[in-house]
Chain A
Amino acid sequence: MNTNWEILVVDDEEIMRESMAAWLREDGYAVEAVASGREAIAAAKVKDYAIYFIDLKMPSGIDGIETMMEVHKIHPEACVIIITAYATVDTAISAMKEGAQEYIVKPCNPQEISMLVARIIKVKNLQRENLILRQKLAKQYNVQDILSKNPKMHQIFQLIKEISGLRSTVLLQGESGTGKELVARAIHFSGDRAGKPFIGVSCAALAETLLESELFGHEKGSFTGATSQKKGKFEMANGGTIFLDEIGDISPKLQMDLLRVLQEKKFYRVGGSEETEVDVRVIAATHRDLQTAVQEGEFRDDLYYRLNVITIQIPPLRERREDIPLLVRHFICDLSHELGRPVTDISEDALRLLIDRDWPGNVRELENAVERGIITCRGTSLTADDFQFLNTSGNGKKEWRPPCNLPLDEVERQVIIATLERTKGNVKEAAGILGIDRSTLYDRIRKYGLPR
């Protein structure tokens, strides 16, 4: 179980280093043992060990502390345990001050060594896991993962690269399903904040008071149900990026609070009396035209100008139809693997059908359609028959005849009611069918006063 981790034992007394090495080998570690500080440094140059056990007093050349310092120059994160037969408080303090993880006296208690090694290896395992996850995330959210041949999108990719290292606020505008969060993540993971948290908040999904507590946290007892202190998303994102989705839907009070954070980088927790300071990059997104909302008095102009430092307008899918074949093939590859289906291709007529549609739910709706097609597909290639549901789902371009005696809002209201009835009130499923995200659907439910 421990064979992936290597340990170096450094002691001039052969009997000591060999007995330590033998004991650790029984635990399954790959252990090497050397007799001097110089040999230890040479070994550290060749590979990084999980743990270095270094004897404090070695007669020839450099002692344990100097060896540790040299090893730390090569591997700053190296975990060094100083061992000594002559324990004094001074040497212990000196070893710890110079960066030793632990200081142990030989002969050591076997239980102490065993627990110490287990504790360090546990941390090493977590660090390694964390690194792998970070690498995966960075890979998943870099610019190359947003597929497009469209010149406008390429301008956006260029802009993402240029602004990723800045702290400036970014405003993403675009219809639902155009990939605003993907762009936000690409900005975060391409810049120097990539190693820090990326925290996303959907402002439309929560009521005003809940959202305030969600963003800024609360103190214990600040409202009914606040049984303990809670950190808000701004604190969680400290050093990194906060992504505020559907920013156009927040209340006037929250607009004011948000303005203060953007201006002063400080805020109060709900019910709190002490200011909390954070270093957070804000990326906001909305499907609304904020400029119009400002003109109509629904959105604070000062907040708008604060948010609107860098604006990225993401085009809807119907304005970049050339991307549809590219996206469809990408979804086939990804989803057929994920769903365990043997689908690898799409016929010309099926592709034409998809290119001709307007896709009001944009890329997300297209992805849902491809997923549904893969599930019902009986061969290895998607055909037009696999997308028949598009003609009957209520938004097909050619066959569907819209009612022409109703206001637009009423049509939308009825479609949402019918979809929610069909999904028995399951908002997630209904949003998927409608090709919009959940926050947009919540927004509509509130707008039309629909029961859930």
Chain B
Amino acid sequence: MIVVGLLGLGNVGPALLDTVATSVREAFTADIVRLKEGPDPRYAWDDHRGQHNSEIILRRLLAEAPPDVDRVLGVTSVDLFIPMLSFVFGQAQLNGKAAVVSSARLDPTFHGFPVNPALTAARLSREAVHELGHTLGLTHCIVRACPMSLATTIAQLDAKGPELCEGCRSVLKEKINRGLLFLSES
């Protein structure tokens, strides 16, 4: 069983975290441990870009992750970037321990549409499964409906379903069976 530590970073609603927890639990048959809320990620603010640097957030998540969780997933509402790209929906360490996702661009109001908390939560859940998948060694999938497919637009994100495709499931199973994932003893 994979143990995932989940925490909100700053002002993230509990309902949103509940939806993400349910999706991650179902997608990976994971055990979810709710961690104490982290601070607003002001420490990652970049004046020049006017956004938050997700790599700095990842480093902090990693430094502060409790030893008894296999993976740690931070959820934030601030807009994220990596230095090379203009924005990211989320970021993860490939085959690593930490992942972060942002609801900023997943909120319909960001694109001029009416408020729709259920839609934001559904999108955030897909993105959370995607980034956690990367920490478990999964790369992008060609199946559009699989959460592991690459999404650089909202339309691509909305085309994804909640469950990993059969191919990604079997790759993951193989990795677990061969002991290729760094997991805690629990």
Which residues of A does B touch, CB under 8 Å? 1-2, 13, 15-16, 19-20, 22-23, 25-28, 106-111, 113-114
Closest residue of chain B to A111, judged by CB?
A: B152
Q: In the complex, what distance in Å separates the CA atom of A26 from the CA atom of B148? A: 10
CA separation between A55 and B88, bound complex, in Å? 21
Residues on the A chain within 8 Å of B134, using CB: 26
10 A-B residue pairings within 8 Å (CB atoms): A1-B142, A16-B83, A19-B82, A19-B84, A20-B84, A26-B92, A28-B140, A107-B83, A110-B87, A110-B152
Known: A1-B142, A15-B55. A113 touches B85 (CB 8 A): yes
Q: In the complex, are the beta carbons of B152 and A26 less than 8 A apart?
A: no
Residues of A near B140 (CB, < 8 A) are 1, 26-28
Give the distance to chain A from B100, nearest Cβ to Cβ, in Å.
13
A109 to B140, CA, bound (A): 18
B86 at the interface (CB under 8 A from A): yes
Q: How far is the CA of A213 from the CA of B94 in the complex (A)?
A: 59
Q: Which of A2, A15, A110, A113 contacts B83 (CB 8 A)?
A: A15
State how many angstroms separate the Cβ of B59 from the closest Cβ of chain A. 12
Q: B146-161, CB under 8 A of A: which get 1 and which 0? A: 0000101100000000
B81 interfacial by beta-carbon distance below 8 Å: yes
Measured between beta carbons, the chain A residues less than 8 angstroms from B83 are 13, 15-16, 19, 106-107
Answer yes or no: B19 CB below 8 A from chain A CBs.
no
* B residues near A23, Cβ cutoff 8 Å: 82, 84-85
Find the B residue at minimum CB distance from A21. B84
B169 within 8 A of A: no
B89 to chain A, nearest CB (A): 9
Q: Per-residue CB proximity of B81-125 to A under 8 Å, as 1/0?
A: 111111110001110000000000000000000000000000000
Q: A297 to B49: give the CA distance in the assembly, Å.
A: 86
Task: Other than A107-B49, A109-B86, give 13 A-B pairs with Cβ distance below 8 A.
Answer: A16-B83, A16-B84, A19-B55, A19-B84, A23-B82, A25-B94, A26-B150, A106-B84, A107-B81, A107-B86, A110-B86, A110-B152, A114-B150
Tell me the bound Cα distance from A15 to B84 in angstroms.
8
Measured between beta carbons, the chain B residues less than 8 angstroms from A16 are: 83-84
A-B pairs, top 5 by smallest CB distance, nearest first, are A28-B139, A111-B152, A19-B82, A110-B152, A20-B84
* A1, A19, A111, A114, most chain B CB atoms within 10 A: A19
Say whether, besides A27-B139, A28-B140, A107-B81, A22 and B87 are in contact (CB < 8 Å).
no
Contact-residue size bin, chain B (C-beta under 8 Å from the other chain)? 20 to 34
Nearest A-chain residue to B138, judged by Cβ:
A26
Cβ–Cβ contact A25 & B81, under 8 A: no
Most buried by A among B55, B83, B84: B84
Distance, CA A13 to CA B82, complexed state (A): 13
Contacts of B86 in A (CB 8 A): 107-110
Chain B residues with Cβ under 8 A from A20's Cβ? 84
CA distance A259 to B1 in the complex (A): 80
Rounded to whole Å, the gap between the CB of B144 and the closest CB of chain A is 13
Q: How far is the CB of B87 from chain A (nearest CB, A)?
A: 7
Nearest-neighbour CB distance to chain A for B77, whole angstroms, equals 20
Given A1-B142, A15-B55, A22-B94, A27–B150 Cβ distance below 8 Å? yes
Judge whether A19 and B139 touch: CB under 8 Å: no
Name the distance in Å between A188's Cβ and chain B's nearest Cβ.
38
Whole-angstrom CA separation of A274 from B74 in the bound complex: 69
Chain A residues with Cβ below 8 Å from B153 are 111
Interface centre among A13, A106, A111 (most CB of B within 10 A): A111
Shortest C-beta distance, A72 to chain B (Å), equals 24
Assembled-state Cα–Cα distance A19/B82 (Å) = 6
From residue B145, how far is it (CB to closest CB) to chain A in Å? 16
List residues of B (9-68) whose CB comes within 8 Å of A's CBs. Answer: 49, 55
The minimal Cβ–Cβ distance linking B46 to chain A, given in whole angstroms, is 11
Give the chain A neighbours of B139 by CB distance below 8 A: 2, 25-28
Bound CA span A28–B94, Å: 10
Give bound CA distance, A25 to B87, whole Å.
Answer: 17
For B81, the closest partner residue in chain A by CB is: A107
The residue of chain A having its C-beta at the shortest distance from the C-beta of B139 within the complex is A28
> B84 to A107, Cβ gap below 8 A?
yes
Query: Is B55 a contact of A108 with CB atoms below 8 Å?
Result: no
* Across-interface contacts of A26 in B (CB, < 8 A): 92, 94, 134, 139-140, 150
Chain B positions within 8 Å of A19 at CB level: 55, 82-85
Q: How far does the alpha carbon of A20 sit from the alpha carbon of B83 in the complex, in Å?
A: 8
| Alpha-carbon distance A28/B87, docked complex (angstroms) | 20
Q: In the bound complex, how far is the Cα of B76 from the Cα of A129, in angstroms?
A: 45
Q: Which of A15, A26, A27, A108 has the most CB of B within 10 A?
A: A26
